């Protein structure tokens, strides 16, 4: 077991607003485990997705919200580290934390804890902003700029 896990994957600059967080809970389902009742590592990206979905719901910035504005946010980077196993039918918490970026992208960090608050896994994702034709948007779209202005002003904290 790693004694000092890296919980923060993105650099914070002076003057950046604090991260925005959302949390959700789940219970390990039978279909998510192997013969030893341990969650298969390939399930963790979907757990991170559950965290992003909770974030989208809390801040009105979900996938359909973006789609309705004419944009997508495909994943271009995914990383996770494991510290302890989850087993069937264990309940657990997923925390998704959006990290400020000036670029036309979304950076998320994740923590998964069991209900005894033991750290199970950490990770991060990077999503770039594209139009509906998957053309990369180098300039932040207006709807995302409005969201960032509200974040920077502290309105969303």
pLDDT by residue (tens digit) across 60-112?
A: 999 999 999 999 999 999 999 999 999 999 999 999 999 999 999 999 999 99
Burial of 75 (0-12, 13-18, 19+ CB in 10 A): middle
Pairing of strands 130-131, 75-82: unpaired
Domains of the chain: 20-152 (3.10.129.10)
pLDDT by residue (tens digit) across 21-31?
A: 999 999 999 99
pLDDT by residue (tens digit) across 109-135?
A: 999 999 999 999 999 999 999 999 999
- pTM comes to 0.93
Q: Which of 89, 92, 79, 78 is nearest to 120 (CA)?
A: 92
């Amino acid at each position: 077991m790693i004694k000092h896990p890296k919980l923060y994957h993105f650099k914070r600059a002076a003057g950046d607003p604090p991260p925005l967080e959302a949390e959700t809970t789940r219970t390990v389902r039978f279909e998510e485990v192997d013969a030893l009742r341990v969650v298969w590592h390939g399930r963790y990206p979907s757990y991170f997705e559950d965290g992003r979905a909770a974030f989208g719901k809390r801040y009105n910035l979900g996938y359909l919200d973006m789609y309705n504005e004419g944009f997508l946010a495909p994943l271009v980077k995914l990383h996770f580290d494991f510290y302890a196993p989850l087993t069937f039918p264990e309940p657990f918490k997923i925390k998704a934390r959006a990290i400020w970026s000036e670029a036309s992208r979304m950076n998320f960090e994740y923590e998964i804890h069991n209900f005894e608050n033991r750290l199970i896994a950490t990770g991060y994702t990077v999503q770039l902003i594209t139009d509906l034709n998957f053309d990369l948007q180098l300039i932040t779209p207006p709807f995302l700029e409005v969201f960032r202005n509200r974040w920077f002003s502290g309105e969303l904290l």
